Amino acid sequence: MIVTENKEMICENLKRSSDGELCFADMPLSPLAEKYGTPLYLYDEARVRHNCRVYLDAVREGFGEDARVMYASKAASFKQLYRIIKEEGLGVDVVSCGEIYTAHLAGFPLQNAYFHSNNKTDDDIDFAISHGVGCFVVDNAEELFAIDKIAAKHGIRQKIMLRITPGIDPHTYAAVATGKVDSKFGSAIETGQAKAITSLALTFDNLELTGFHCHVGSQIFDAEVYLATSKVMLGFVNDMERELGFICRDLDIGGGLGVRYIESQPTLDIKATVLKVGEEMKKEVARLGIALPRISLEPGRSIVADAGLTLYTVGTVKRIPGYKTYVSVDGGMTDNPRFALYGSPYTILPVFDDESIPRESCSVVGRCCESGDILQENVPMPTDIERGDLLACLTTGAYHYSMASNYNRIPRPPVVMLKDGESYVAVKRESLEDIVGLDV
């Protein structure tokens, strides 16, 4: 089979063969569907590693050799992925005991982990400290008191960072914008709460404040957002040094760099963006007369999104004359709820495609008993599409497996990794027995 380049593909690891079959990570998709069944999450291991290395090279060149990349594992969390992240030299940030435990079982060194969350329970805090999580990203004053008390019980001095809200609107989806003053996350600089919580954090015997953290949103394609955020945060670092005598050693400026889901979205040059931010931050600390803290970035989506693809099998094609055509697949909002939640755009392609066949606009929908179970509207599909055809939803490595559910008691798909022309199972397909496994 001859594999040919297709310049219209939105991801570099996608091609079509000479006979029109879609290939991912240089592997044709139909044999994978036959071997593992559908729906099927596929991950290109080489692409994950490539994205990790792009970030590491960029932050070290832009901010210095001690700069860190902390993979935001809420984007996708399973044991094999933590093993890959460990091998590539990244840290992780985690947001639950489930993510902590998964990383622990994968052998990830949790001293290289941040623990986020705006509402950590006492049990969460105890679990994280017991498993050696390196740093807590503290969201609020209640959490300071709780961590101090539990750290004392364990006889340790726990490292913490404070989540600060810089008041930046990234002009992105409201549901994923987290840097504005009116946010459930962090303490706002504008209201004086950021200074107040910094002053409070310095009073605890069992807490070691190392610095500050911020995150302004997701799907950001404009470096200016990060430049504005960095300037605000460095100004705050300077103020806290002058007013409280606190020297910030660590500054995490978040993640959120955008990925390409559809053709109209740009391809972001990650390295150029990071280097531009690094250059401007160095100029700003020189102007302020302070030292540049150790900088961390925490990409999630942009590490794994384009490393993922989901395969489906068409079940029914329903044409309503004068209205629309519905193409129903054997997955849906149970394995990808993002269109239902956010209206997120996706590219969906037939695995086998003959460009001579005319197209029709279709709604690609799932199998759930729910009118909102839609994967994408207005998808151009061949007019001869029929039951048994394979469809591929692209750029599904982030927030798909991690957000999957058992709605309608539907088992979740497996995760299969692709590497060097071979495939292996990273997460098994759920069975009906798994579904009822916790019932009593």
Q: Is residue 8 part of a domain?
A: yes
Same domain, 412 and 428: yes
Same domain, 189 and 320: no
Q: What is the pLDDT, as a whole number, of residue 35?
A: 98
Three-point CA angle 330, 332, 338, nearest 5° = 160
Catalytically annotated residues? 369
Length of the chain counted residue by residue = 440
Q: What is the CATH number of the domain that holds 376?
A: 2.40.37.10
Q: Is residue 423 part of a domain?
A: yes
Same domain, 252 and 389: no
How far is residue 146's CA from residue 249's CA, in Å, rounded to a whole number?
Answer: 23
Q: What is the pLDDT, as a whole number, of residue 222?
A: 85
Q: Is residue 275 part of a domain?
A: yes
* Residue the block writes with tokens 């559910």: 405
Widest distance between CA atoms in the chain: 72
Structure tokens at 74: 């809420």
Same domain, 297 and 350: no
If you count DSSP H runs as helices and E runs as strands, how many of each does the chain have, helices first? 12, 22
Return the number of other C-beta atoms located less than 10 Å from residue 132's C-beta: 14
SS3 content of the chain, % helix, strand, coil (to 5): 35, 25, 40
**Among 305, 328, 360, residue at a domain's last position:** 305
**Among 305, 335, 357, residue at a domain's last position:** 305
**Among 243, 270, 305, residue at a domain's last position:** 305
Same domain, 129 and 252: yes
For residue 154, give its domain range. Answer: 46-305
How far is residue 273's CA from residue 276's CA, in Å, rounded to a whole number?
Answer: 5
Nearest to 332 by CA among 262, 232, 406: 406
Pairing of strands 308-320, 324-329: antiparallel
Q: What is the pLDDT, as a whole number, of residue 185?
A: 84
Same domain, 210 and 269: yes
Show pLDDT as tens, one digit a residue, over the chain (440 residues): 333 334 468 999 999 999 999 999 999 999 999 999 999 999 999 999 999 999 999 999 999 999 999 999 999 999 999 999 999 999 999 999 999 999 999 999 999 999 999 999 999 999 999 999 999 999 999 999 999 999 999 999 999 999 999 987 655 444 444 445 666 788 999 999 999 999 999 999 999 999 999 998 888 888 888 999 999 999 999 999 999 999 999 999 999 999 999 999 999 999 999 999 999 999 999 999 999 999 999 999 999 999 999 999 999 999 999 899 999 999 999 999 999 999 999 999 999 999 899 999 999 999 999 999 999 999 999 999 999 999 999 999 999 999 999 999 999 999 999 999 999 999 999 999 999 999 99
For residues 86 and 107, the answer to whether their CB atoms sit within 8 Å is: yes
Q: What is the pLDDT, as a whole number, of residue 2?
A: 35
Same domain, 335 and 390: yes
- The DSSP result for 384-438, as a single string, is T--TT-EEEEES-SSSSGGG---GGGPPPPPEEEEETTEEEEEEPPP-HHHHTTT
Same domain, 116 and 239: yes
Burial environment of residue 245 by CB neighbours within 10 A (0 to 12, 13 to 18, 19 or more): exposed
Same domain, 74 and 176: yes
Q: What is the pLDDT, as a whole number, of residue 97?
A: 98
Q: Is residue 97 part of a domain?
A: yes
Q: Is residue 257 part of a domain?
A: yes
Q: Is residue 234 part of a domain?
A: yes
Same domain, 193 and 218: yes
Q: What is the CATH number of the domain that holds 128?
A: 3.20.20.10
Q: What is the pLDDT, as a whole number, of residue 173?
A: 40
Q: What is the dihedral of CA 163, 225, 72, 236, to 10 degrees?
A: -20
Same domain, 153 and 288: yes
How far is residue 238's CA from residue 215's CA, in Å, rounded to a whole number?
Answer: 19
Q: Is residue 440 part of a domain?
A: no
Structural domain tally of the chain? Answer: 2
Q: Is residue 280 part of a domain?
A: yes
**Which H/E stretch holds residue 38?**
none
For residues 373 and 340, the answer to whether their CB atoms sit within 8 Å is: yes
How far is residue 335's CA from residue 396's CA, in Å, rounded to a whole number?
Answer: 10
Same domain, 185 and 316: no
Query: 142-168: b or e for each residue (b if 16 or more CB lie within 10 Å)?
Result: ebbebbbebbeeeeeebbbbbbbbbbb
